[in-house]
Copies of this chain bind each other. A is one copy, B any other.
Amino acid sequence: MASVFKVAAYIYPHSDILDFSGPLEIYNCAPPPNNPHRFETTTFAHHNPVQAATKSTTYVPSASFAEVERDLESYDILVIPGAWPEAIVKLLDLDEGKQLLALIRRFAQLKPRAETGARVLQSVCSGSLILAAAGVLAGRKVTTHHLCFGELKEMADKAAGGDAGMEILKKKRWVDGGKTEAGVRIINAGGVTSGIDASLFVVEELAGKAYSDFTADIVEFERRGQNDGWDA
């Protein structure tokens, strides 16, 4: 079956540009010749334009938060990038942060999309802190940027109102945290450039190894194994 996998990446003030640009590059790549699958990307935000990690990187999202919220079921992959933990704490204190957490919780409870059989919730870098705050990482294997292992546990425990029972894996490029009850697969990338490896892993899972190898070749990216990550 030919599938168009729809990817939505959230962008917020001070979000790290490579955290979302790495995945967007991978998902935006032209598919291999004669391959029935392809990926289609959307960026969305509460702001328009939205300034990411520095004043030189300002983005016009292709959809509003409200639009993606309304059509959430039509997306296969939701990408949540990271930022310095202070920026994440600041985001989560705002109404827009609370709306984001609600969106993530709702996405985690959707069934796999009928057209593709897929649903993936993907964090990159400290974006896992946002997933933790949404309460969707409790009891799972997880990872994050090597400087954020402590914050990840704190955020998840706070959301759980006690020990969230996570197993934090270090030195990982990505971790497959398994599926939610509804069937949404949760993937955490490690820090920043790990998001490229994690996205290639998702492409491989959804569209096959030939597709992900073709993409890695086009972007001249020597893929790293899952265990080639960083420790603090």
Contacts and interface: CB of A to CB of B under 8 A. Distances in A.
The 7 closest A-B pairs by CB, nearest first: A191-B220, A21-B21, A18-B25, A58-B60, A192-B219, A41-B56, A56-B62
A217 to B, nearest CB: 7
A188 interface: no
A13 interface: no
Number of copies of this protein chain within its complex: 2
B59 A59 contact: yes
A99 interface: no
Interface residues of A, number: 41
A54 B58 CA distance: 16
Given A145-B220, A222-B224, 14 more contacts: A18-B21, A18-B22, A21-B22, A24-B56, A25-B192, A58-B59, A58-B61, A59-B59, A60-B60, A192-B220, A193-B220, A193-B221, A217-B230, A220-B230
Interface of A is mostly: loop
A202 to B, nearest CB: 17
A64 interface: no
A57 B57 CA distance: 12
